Structures are given as structure tokens and as C-alpha cells.
A and B are shown apart, each in its own frame.
Chain A
Amino acid sequence: MSKRKELEAKLIARLRDDVVCVEKTDPRTIFIDVKRAGIREASKIITNAGARYLCSVGYDNIERDGTLGMIHTFALDDSDQFVCCRTSAPENDAIIESITPDLPSAGWSEREVTDLLGLRFAGHPKPKKLVLADDWPDGIYPLRKDVPHNLVPKGAEDVAYELDEAPPGTKIVPVGPFHPSLHEPEHFAVYVDGETIKGCDYRGFMTHRGIEKLCTTQISYNEVPFIAERICGICGSVHATAFSQAVESAAGLVIPRRAEFIRTMMLEFERIHSNLLWLGVAGHLIGFDTVFMQAWRVREQIMWLCERLTGNRKTYGMILVGGVRRDITPEIADDIRRVMKTIEDDLAIIHRAIEKDTSIHKRTKGVGTITKQQALDWSLVGPVARARGVDIDARRDHPYAAYDEMKFEVPVLDSCDVWATLVIRVIETFEAIKIVRQCLEKMPGGEFFVEMKDSIPAQRHAITVVEAPRGESVHYVITGEDNRPERWRVRAPTFPNLQAVPLMLLDEQFGDFPIIMGSIDPCFSCTDRVAVVDLQTGQASSISKAELDALSRQQQARHASLKG
């Protein structure tokens, strides 16, 4: 009996009446609808069957049946399956049981749903505000359909976020939102006892752009990939690919094989540049700026290559629903080969230098240690998980694009520290170069784009994962009317990884804070994508450059007037 069948049988046997239905339309995904009473039990059964928790998605179904929906998603990595466990609660009794006590990494997902949709979770260990600004007024849930995307509520007054109680004998070092080791605005309250970190509270979600709301209210499927790409300045193609795949899967659209190869290449380019970028940042965070400069010098090659390829150093605009925008010509293929060679050689030099540098060992070995079990409990992903002996990689476990044809190693180390993360990311860069070469070799001819002709039926659910350089990104799409998604949920790799950072920091030295925090390669803008407000003003900001400029000008004027 396949794992899938086994799981279905188990669920029905154990939950009986609580299971409403099991939908088996998609060969890769099982959708299970359960009554809200059985949701915690269901998720327990699913995880006990060996599934790994991905994320949770909340959605507004009030217009349809007066409920708020909640989906917990899981992955069965050894059999390439996803499990989506759906439930709902009526709007007037919007509360369901929390799964966070069993799955700590569900904590943020649930808090996010509480903030954005007003669905509450009984038994949540830390039911605090997560994504909304401190002064966001109570009772307005931005992701509900009745809230317009451009709502500007009046900010609540005298509201301050209550940080967690500091452990006895400790004091708070406020890190961020403006701090040199954070490259995006987020706030960590680090509880230190002298030089030792005894805990940490996180108040983030300050990079608010309201992307999910925007894409479900304003634009159409074909435009979303360009917005998705702008979720992140590093792994844009990842989000664009993931979204496109989700839509293609929902629509049952099959894209040309050549396009899949090109997507694979773009993703690997991104991996190379992201890994080099991170390597540099990691060097910088331990005060080793030479590593920073050299890694970025090497990285520059790939940036130029992408510029020649797509016209942009970043935010390539290559990925479309239905394929890609540009082809790889033979000339550019030669160019790619040459650049790959240069990068491989240069990186080999850096790699050798780092490998033998005892002072880098001093700063990274045994730092940020958490055990494999903890990594599993917190559903860590990407190099951070692989450095803790968790052998997962979406490219291999849930192949997409052309990864099924690619041969590559998934490095897994078990020293559980920052050093292992560093080694893994360097090795993965070499592997990425290999994959790019394989793509060039094996790429079939033919079309690279197919137009989506039929409109996509509403209320279809689809989930895809894409292995970003820093771990897997999960996209969940519910199709909607008006040629746009009804709900689109993006879970960036930082979302689970960041939740485990306090654990990694525990009992480490404060001097190691930057590198431990940096070791997960946090991408706060990916993580924050959803919320709709600017911290200080409660102002909704849909994004056009002119508007943004006007906003920042306003902001400055306000500061000036405050000063005066």
C-alpha cells in the first residue's frame, strides 16, 4: 500500500466522522477536509505518518458560507506528496484548536492568521500580535474580503508591543530595525546576561507591502509573477516560479520542456549569486570583510551575466505563467559556460582559503548549535536544516521544472553549527554550476512559452514548493474569479528558520549574534510580504514608484515637523 493510501486509511479510521472528505484529484497532493474539532488530531496523525509541517494558510470564505478557512500543509518528502488538511470555523465563533503545542513552527502561521483574518486559536502558547503594526486598530482584519486594499485606518494611540518578560538577571540589547548586521528593518530584543544570550524576542514584519492582498484584489494571474518576483531582492525567480507552478497546476496547464530547463537555469543562477552573497555577508558578520569583498567580486560575474541574459542584474522578469520570457541563444550559452568556469575557479580559491582558516573555524564551529531533533521539531528548511543532518531538498524530493533530469549532490552535514551551513552553501554553489552545465547540455529545443487560453476555474487549491538558495519556499494558491487568485499564501524559507533563531542563540555569546542570525540568511522582506501597513502611520501602501517616493517625502516632512 502506498504511503498515501496508508495515510488516508489511518485518518479515516482514527477521526471517523470528523473527516468530511478526501480529495484525490491531484496525484501529488491530498486535500483532506476535517471538522474543526478534529484538526489537531488530524495534524498529529499526519505528522506521525512522517510528514513534515510546511505552513498554514487562512482564508476568508465568509461570503460563500460564513466561515473562515484554515489549511495546514505538510510534505511527505520520501514519497513526493503534499498533505493539505483543511478546516473552517464560522465567522461568529472564529476559533479553532491550535496545533502549535505539537508543532512549534506553526506558531507564526497561526498568529499571522489571527492578525489578518481574525481567526483565533485555542491553546496557542504565545497569542500575541505578529504581523500587524503596533498601532493597527483592533477589529480590522486586512485579508478579509470586505476590507479594501487601500484602507487607511486611524492608528490606535498609546499602543506599545509588550516584549516577552526578560529572564531574571538579564537585560535587553535592542537590535534593529536599524543595525549594521540586519540588512532589513526588523527588531530583535536580545536578552543578555553579560556577554551570554539568554533569550530573544522578535518583533518583525516591518517591511510591509501588502503584496498578497494586492495580488488578490488588483491584478491578474499573468501579472502576479512580476510582483511575486519583487517579494525578494535575492530569490525573485523562486517566488515567480513557485507562483507560476501553483497556477499552472491549478489550471492543469503543461508548459514546454524547454521553458522548464530555462527556469531551472534561472533558479540555479539565483542560487549561485545568493550563496556568494551570503558567503560575503557571513564574512562581514564575523568581521572578515575580505571574504565579503572577494565573494562579492566573484558574484559580480553572475550579476553581469544575468544582465546580459535578461537586461537586469536582478528581478529578471523571466518567469511567466506558461513558461519564460526569453530564450537561451547559443551565444549566450557560450557566455554562460565561460562565466561558470570563472566562478568555479574563483570560488575554489576562496573555498580553499576558508577551509584552512583556523580563525574562521574559531568563529563558526560549535556556534549556533541546535540538535537534529530540534531542527526537525521546528521544521527547519534549506542549508540550515541540512547543516543539522536533516536530509531534505525540494529539488530532489519534490522535483519541479527540470530537476528530475538533473544529477546533483545534496550535501548534508551533522556538525549542527554555522560552519556546516557555510560549507554546505559553498558546496551547493559548485553543485549549482554543475546543474547549469547539465541544463545547457540536455536542453531540448522547441517553444519556451505557452499561452494560458482557458480561464481557470475558481476555488481550486494548489501547493508548490521551490527550493530557494536559503531553503524551500512554499506557495499556496486558491484560484478565484476575475482572472486572479482568491488567496495566495507565500511562505519563504526564513519564516520557519527565523522562528528557531532564539533556540540557536540560547547560551551563545552576544558576539556571535550577527553570525547566528545571519546563518539562516534571513530574508525579512520575503517573510513580511503580507501585512498592509506602515508601522508609524498605519498607511496602506500599494506600490508604484511615484507613490512610494511621495510617501517617503511625506515621511521626511513629518520628521522635520516633529523636530521643529
Chain B
Amino acid sequence: MDTTIYPHLQTGLAILLGAGLITPLLASKRQLAGIVNLLAVVLAGLFFASSAINVLSGPGAPASFDLQLAGLTIPLLVDGFSAVFLLLIAVIASVVALYCIGYMQMAHYRHYSLRGFYFCYPVFIAGMIALVTVDDLSTGFTIAWQLMTLTSFWLIRFDHHDPVIVRSANKYLLLMQLAWAAVLTAGLLVPGCGWGTPLHYIAEQLGTLDVGLRTLLLALAFLGFGMKAGMFPLGQLWLPDAHSVAPSPISALLSGVMLKTGIYGLIRTLFWMTPESMPAHELQYWGMAVAVIGVVTLFIGTSQSLKQVDAKRLNAYSSIGQIGYIILAIGAARYYLGPNAALHALALLAILGAFLHVLNHAIFKSLLFLCVGSVQYTTGTKDLDKLGGLFALMPITAIIAGIAAIAVSGVPAFSGFTSKWAIVAATLLSGKAAGIFVIFGVIALVTSAMTLATYVKLYGMTFTSVGVEWNTDGNAKVQEVGKLMLAPKLLLTAICLLQGLCPWLFVALFGRVLATSEGVLTHTLATPALLATLSERYAGVAVSNASGTAVAFSLPLVMVALLVVAGLFARWLKHAGGAQTRQAPVWLCGYQTLNNANRYLSSHIFDAFKKFMKWTGGNVRA
């Protein structure tokens, strides 16, 4: 057992809280404050990373640790599962901190003091770190949750001159407090458990309860975390409003990592708070219920996302949709973990899918928010009806956004593909053993086509298509953002591409997570026989059945190679005829010349389909 895990964790948290006190003093010097904030977050991140790597490289799950703080006992536990979230938060928080330096100097924020911002930022990160490391549902949970919620509330209402923003933030605060109350109630109502009771004890006690009360308590915890994660219909209440009004880097944090703390909670609830003494069918009911919620969430969230004209709202709704995939996978995994051992391999695949999608979504969604932020930074708007034609002006941001958009759409060889593949394959391969999941899989697939439509629209309406006439007044105001804002995006793009091309790395990481955690997942799934069904090769990932034949495979590297070769052939063919290229104006039937009035708006795109899907809500216009 490595003894540095918890000290490093505490040091990191201390640095963040310390930075929260010091940085605001420098807030009048915007750039300096940003840099100090970055340094603090990176330094703390390094400590967290070291702690996480220690855990993941360890031989098994580390022991928990009781933190004594002002007379309170707070149980901490950093197992492999927490460690991954630690890493994720550390990476994204650092990258976003880098982005903040440039972004917070935006002209629109000129009259806002950054004091509050730089107080809240590190504390917010600390809150999230704390949330994924505390091991109770009461004392530690409350501290962590409130640190995270209150600071994020202030970050969301940063642009507080707009009453709409303040209202959205207030709603967020209210709903998060309700979520907190729900989880806290669940934690405290379990007989024999009080403030500071560790999770495993709560789970044991739950096992002894009668079904009704147990269901109620689990449901409360589930609702609380589900609210945070953006589960249907609770997510719709706050998520699009909060995510769309916060400053873009904060939106990236909210969507990229904060939602994942909800997922963290859901996974803990479903797999750690469900004692093995619970009847198997009851657990399967839970799995089924969660999967149904997941399917509804992903379908509704995505179809609502399709209708949006505000780029950030679109991303926010899409986050609900993508969270739906994760919830579906979690539910499926819970269901497959039942008595039918034949399904256990699929449970492994499903939970792998959830795990990969958590990581992938964190990266590409942060990236998308940062890109939208960059667009907002230069053009001053995030309204897709007013954007367009930025490819020529902001080529690097455009290409980065393109990669992120393709990733979220699940195009092969990009990062969303392998995770969606795992989730869809896990549902489809269940066959007759769990027939309804096949239907879920089909719906998930329909939805990924809708995701594609959503992002084709976002991308097309922002970067290609007809633009408003930019830079008409002579000064090149709309141009590529500076290096300070490109660097963080490039970093995330690199990670995103890595995730897409080398999913095996993350499958291997997943193996370590199972190995260094306790609980039902590790006990049931981390058996050599089951792990053998999941083979990771350099080219990708394959799943085999009991007899060893591969039944599903995702090999992005091969696909990329194929696509490149085919692309080269296509390119050759294109030039084979020796045709000349000529520039010509856009063809508009010969009378009108291209102008703003001929621009098909984002709100017009997919008109017929949007009308067809009107019943799913989230409509922008009546």
C-alpha cells in the first residue's frame, strides 16, 4: 500500500483552497491572476495525478482513510474508480484554467471583477475532487457537494448583469440543494448509519432492510445523483439553462466533468450501495429501470439538442443525450450482472462502454464548449442563426471543432465511436436473453444519427455555410483566437484523437480500474475468463464469445488506414481527368446575389424533422 495517496490528495486540495484565497487578491491584473490560477490548478493536479497513478498502479484496492477535520471524521476512499475521476478532473481543470487566462480577458467581461471568479474556480475543482474521494453520504459528502455547488453557482452567475442568467443560476442552486437533500436523506435514513458512516457500511445495512424502504432509499440517492448527471426529466430542468449562461470555460467544466460526478454517484449507488445480499431479481429491476431512464434520456436529450439554435444550449442538451448513453450502459451492466452468467461478458462490455464514454465525453464536450467559447470570444455571439462562414477566418478552431463534432457523432476512428460501439454492441448482443435491450440498442443507434445531425448543423452553421458579413468595417476583429486559447484546445484535441485511435490504452486502464477497486464489478467481472473475452490490440478492441470467436470489434487504426488509402485513391481519381479549377460566385438562379437574406438559418434546418419530433419537447419556437 502506497502511503502517499491520501497525503497527496490532501496537499492538492490544500493548494486549491490556498489558491482560492490568494488569487483573488491579484484579480485586478487579469492575466497574472489567470496564470497564478493555472499554476495552482496544475500543481494540485499533479498531486492528484500522482495519487491516482499510485492507486492505479497498485496491486489492489487501497484502504480507506479517515480524515479528521475540525472534530469531524470524514472517510476518504481513493480506489481505482475514484482515481480515474481524479485524473479526469485534474486534466480538464488544468486545461480549462489555461483557457481561462485568455477567455476572461474578453471585452464583454471588462466591467466584471474577476475576484469572485478566481476564488470560486479552484474551490470548485476542490469540491469536485472531494466529491469523488469521500466515502460517505453525509459529512464528507455534504462538504464536498456544497463546495462544488455553491462555487459553481457563483461561476454560473458570473455575468450577473443579465437577469436571465441570475435566474438560471438560482434555479441551478435550488435544484442542486434538492439533490443534496435527497442523497443526504438516503444516507442518514439507513438504520444504524449517521454522519460520517462509510459507504460499505451503508450498503451492508441496506441489505438488511425490507424491500420498500430499501427501494425508497436507493431511489433517493439515485434521484439526487441523477439530477446532477442530467438524467431525464430532471436534467432538462436546470442543465441547458445553467450550461448555456456560464462563461464558456465554466460550461466546459460543468459539462465535461461536473456531470460526471453525477455519473460517479450513480455508479457508486448501483454497484457499491447494492449489497450482494439483495435478491438478484431486485437488482435486475434496478438495472432495467436505469436502462429505461437511460434510453429515454439519450433519445429525448438528443432530439431536443437537434432543435437548438443557441450553440451552448445545443451542447448542453447534447450532454444530456450523451449522459443518457452512459446511464443506459450502467443500467444494462447492472441488469446483465444477474444470475445468467452468459450475460456477464456483456456486463463487462457495457460497463467498459460507460467508462470509455465518461472519458470521451469529458474530453470532446469540453473541447466543443471551448470552441464555442472561442467563437463567442471573437464574434460576440453564440446564436447559430447569426454565425456562419468562420472556417476561413478561424481555421484552427474550425478544424478542432470539426474533430470534436465528429467525435461526439461517433464516426469511426474518432473518440465517440468505440464507446458507443461498446454500448450498442452490449445491448444488441444480449439477443433473446434480454430482448428489450436490443430495442434499446436500436434506439441508441437512431439517436446517434440524430447526434450526427445536431453536430453537422452546429458545425455547418458556425464554420461553413453562408456567414454574416464579418469584418466589413475594415478592422479584422473576427479572426483566429490567440495562442493562449488555442493551446488548451490543441491539448484536448490530442487527447481526443488518442482516445479515438488507441482505445486499447483506455481498455487497459479500465482493466487497472477493475483490479484496483472492490465491489461487485471487480468480484464478478474481473475474472480471468471474462477478461479474456475482451482483447485489446494495438489496432483496437475486440469482444469474443465463450468459444473464443470474435463477435464484435472496433479497430480504429485499421479503419483509419483503410480510409486514408481509399482517400488517396479518390484524390488520384479526382485529379486523373486533369480538370482545371475555377472560382465562381455561388449560383442563386441568376437574379439575386448572395446576401444575408439568402441564408438558411439554423432554426430552419431539419424543419420537417423538427416538426415530426415536436412531441419530444425542448422546442425553440412554437
Contacts and interface: CB of A to CB of B under 8 A. Distances in A.
The answer to whether A and B touch in the complex, with CB atoms under 8 Å apart, is: yes
Interface of A: 163, 166, 169, 171-179, 185, 187, 189, 192-196, 203
Given A194-B604, A194-B607, A196-B607, A171 B599 contact: yes
Given A171-B599, A174-B598, A203 B591 contact: yes
Contacts of A189: 592
Contact of A187 (B591, B598, B599, B601): B591
Contacts of A175: 589
Contacts of B603: 169, 194
Contacts of A192: 604
B592 A174 contact: yes
B608 interface: yes
A169 B604 CA distance: 9
Contacts of B604: 171, 192-195
Given A195-B608, A196-B607, A176 B600 contact: no
Contacts of B605: 194
Nearest to A161: B591
B600 to A, nearest CB: 6
Interface in B577-622: 588-592, 597-601, 603-605, 607-608, 610, 621
A178 B597 contact: no
A204 to B, nearest CB: 10
B607 A178 contact: no
6 contacts: A171-B600, A171-B604, A174-B589, A178-B590, A194-B607, A195-B607
Contacts of A173: 598
Contact of B597 (A169, A171, A179, A185): A171
Nearest to B621: A169
A164 to B, nearest CB: 11
Contact of A176 (B589, B598, B608, B621): B589
A179 B588 CA distance: 9
Contacts of A176: 589-591
A104 B545 CA distance: 76
A193 B620 CA distance: 14
B601 A171 contact: yes
Contacts, number: 48
A178 B621 CA distance: 34
A323 to B, nearest CB: 44
Nearest to B592: A174
A177 B591 contact: yes
Contacts of B597: 163, 166, 171-172
Given A187-B589, A194-B604, 14 more contacts: A163-B597, A169-B603, A169-B621, A171-B600, A171-B601, A176-B591, A177-B589, A187-B591, A187-B592, A192-B604, A193-B607, A194-B603, A195-B607, A196-B607
Nearest to B604: A194
A196 B599 CA distance: 15
Interface of B: 588-592, 597-601, 603-605, 607-608, 610, 621
Contacts of A193: 604, 607
A100 B591 CA distance: 28
A179 B589 contact: yes
A176 B588 CA distance: 8
B597 to A, nearest CB: 5
Contact of B598 (A171, A179, A194): A171
A562 to B, nearest CB: 12
Contacts of A177: 589-591
Contacts of A185: 590
A179 B621 CA distance: 32
Interface centre among A173, A192, A194, A203 (most CB of B within 10 A): A194
Contacts of B589: 174-179, 187
A172 B592 contact: yes
A187 B591 CA distance: 7
Nearest to B594: A174
**Nearest 4 interchain pairs by C-beta:** A194-B607, A174-B592, A187-B591, A194-B604
A194 B590 contact: no
A194 B608 contact: yes
A163 B597 CA distance: 11
B345 to A, nearest CB: 46
A169 B309 CA distance: 13
Given A178-B589, A179-B589, A189-B592, A172 B598 contact: yes
Nearest to A176: B589
A163 B600 CA distance: 18
Contacts of B598: 171-174
Contacts of B588: 174
B214 to A, nearest CB: 50
Contacts of A194: 603-605, 607-608, 610
Contacts of A187: 589, 591-592
Nearest to B607: A194
B603 to A, nearest CB: 7
A249 to B, nearest CB: 40
Nearest to A186: B591
A469 to B, nearest CB: 28
A169 B605 CA distance: 13
B619 to A, nearest CB: 12
Contacts of B601: 171
Nearest to A172: B597
A179 B589 CA distance: 6
A99 B53 CA distance: 86
B594 to A, nearest CB: 9
Contacts of B607: 193-196
A192 B604 CA distance: 9
B584 to A, nearest CB: 10
Contacts of B599: 171
Nearest to B588: A174
A128 to B, nearest CB: 16
A194 B621 CA distance: 12
Contacts of A169: 603, 621
Nearest to A509: B608
A192 B608 CA distance: 13
Contacts of A179: 589
Interface centre among B590, B591, B608 (most CB of A within 10 A): B591
